[in-house]
Amino acid sequence: MDLQARIYVAGHRGLVGSAILRALQNRGYTNLVTRSSSELDLRDRDAVFQFFGEQDIDYVFLAAAKVGGIRANNEFPADFIRDNLLIQTNVIDAAFQSQVRKLLFLGSTCIYPKYAPQPLKEEYLLTGELEPTNAPYAIAKIAGITMCQSYNRQYGTRFISAMPTNMYGPNDNFDLNTSHVLPALLRKIHEAKQSGSPFVEIWGTGAPLREFLHADDLADACLFLMNNYEDSEIVNVGVGEDISIKQLAELIQSIVEYDGELRFNSSIPDGTPRKLVDVSKIQSMGWKASIPLDAGIRAVYNEYCKQIEITI
Ligand code: GFB
């Protein structure tokens, strides 16, 4: 991508899209296009085609998606499969029709089978059953990958797909019903400290293992792939290390300086037992994550504290 290329970041207000936008701005890209969901509803095919028809876009980062943690995925499966299929179908097809040079589609590691061997290699896709709490979301993402690959095969497009592991960072969702575990625990533990509560409820057993990637690392990987990767095969993006939910809760407890009890509620589902990605493919191309989990969580916690001071 040259610095004047016209680049559309779909989903620029979200955790991942906002990080991609920051990374592009920091590197001197000047011709950036964004639309909020109220300006352009990506589920509306006509609106998306009109937008692409008018904008003369060269590159697309497709970071717009309906996302959420284990509870939201489990409670709103229809919304997750419908909205994601609509968004990605419209954007991918409009990008093809308007002859963009390249598109990067963002998937998720929940596309891999629930009991796949660890670490998760790219070739494990479609080799077993999915985790039921988020299968509708995962199936939408698998459809997006297959769509990119099929357009490349039939039409010669250059649509690539990256599979990030669990993400965290600035502009995350802190709503306890819909958020992912890391922002949820930051909020719950912070509020327990503020209110003097003797314990915090953590969902599940605490045993599941997860890998956490800072959104700025993912954004860096996305720019790297856009500039260096041409194949249809998916590429994992992660740090290559995981921790248990219990260890994550303890780490957050030490950052927040809360000394109450962590109480695990095993009546709530754990989801996939482990989701550690094999990062050898992207590392062999020359990219590696660089933000340590401890420092990344501290930065997010500081931002969260500032944010709630403003809202109060
Ligand atoms: O982050 P999370 O919702 O996503 O949950 P998944 C990770 C683990 O943390 C699960 C536990 O075992 C949860 O039960 N957990 C403990 C909590 N306390 C909490 C809490 O207060 N809130 C939340 N949210 N979790 C999602 C998928 O799966 O990951 C999506 O549903 C997507 O489709 C996303 O792939 C990256 O890793 O289980």
Does the pLDDT at position 308 exceed 90? no
From the alpha carbon of 188, which atom of ligand 1 is closest? 21
Alpha carbons within 13 angstroms on the beta-carbon side of residue 64 total: 25
Which mutation among 70, 83, 173 tests ligand 1's pocket best, with the greatest number of atoms within 8 A of CB? 70
Strands 243-244 and 166-168: unpaired
Is the Cβ–Cβ distance between 48 and 40 less than 8 Å? yes
Cβ neighbours for 308, distance < 8 A, ≥ 6 positions apart: none
CA distance 218 to 164: 7
Task: Please give the model's pTM, rounded to 2 decimal places.
Answer: 0.97
- If residue 236 lies in a helix (H) or strand (E), which one and from where to where? strand 235-237
Does the pLDDT at position 67 exceed 90? yes
Nearest CA to 184 out of 271, 301, 13 is that of 301
Cβ neighbours for 90, distance < 8 A, ≥ 6 positions apart: 42, 43, 44, 45, 48, 49
**Arithmetic mean of pLDDT, 154-167:** 98
C-alpha 125 – ligand 1 centre gap (Å): 20
> Which CATH superfamily does the domain covering 7-172+211-240+275-291 fall into?
NAD(P)-binding Rossmann-like Domain (3.40.50.720)
Q: Whose CA is nearest to atom 20 of ligand 1?
A: 181
Tell how far CA 144 is from the center of its chain: 14
From the alpha carbon of 272, which atom of ligand 1 is closest? 38
Does the pLDDT at position 310 exceed 80? no
Which mutation among 178, 180, 247, 268 tests ligand 1's pocket best, with the greatest number of atoms within 8 A of CB? 180
pLDDT digit string, tens, across residues 166-207: 999 999 999 999 999 999 999 999 999 999 999 999 999 999
The pLDDT value recorded for residue 312 is 56
Strands 235-237 and 159-164: parallel
C-alpha 181 – ligand 1 centre gap (Å): 5
**Arithmetic mean of pLDDT, 60-66:** 98
C-alpha 112 – ligand 1 centre gap (Å): 15
C-alpha 52 – ligand 1 centre gap (Å): 35
The pLDDT value recorded for residue 219 is 98
From the alpha carbon of 202, which atom of ligand 1 is closest? 18
User: Ligand 1 pocket: which residues have CB below 6 Å?
Assistant: 69-71, 73, 108, 110, 133-134, 137, 166, 179-181, 184, 202-204, 208, 210, 245, 268, 270-272
- More confident position, 170 or 310: 170
∠295-297-298 over CA atoms, to 5°? 65
C-alpha 158 – ligand 1 centre gap (Å): 32
**Arithmetic mean of pLDDT, 87-110:** 98
pLDDT digit string, tens, across residues 226-235: 999 999 999 9
From the alpha carbon of 245, which atom of ligand 1 is closest? 9
Q: How confident is the prediction for the chain on average, in pLDDT?
A: 97
- Provide the 10 A C-beta neighbour count for residue 46: 8
3-class state of residue 6 by DSSP:
coil
CA distance 294 to 200: 20
Catalytically active residues are: 137
pLDDT digit string, tens, across residues 17-52: 999 999 999 999 999 999 999 999 999 999 999 999
C-alpha 264 – ligand 1 centre gap (Å): 14
The pLDDT value recorded for residue 282 is 98
Which mutation among 203, 210, 274 tests ligand 1's pocket best, with the greatest number of atoms within 8 A of CB? 203
3-class state of residue 7 by DSSP:
strand
pLDDT digit string, tens, across residues 267-285: 999 999 999 999 999 999 9
From the alpha carbon of 133, which atom of ligand 1 is closest? 31
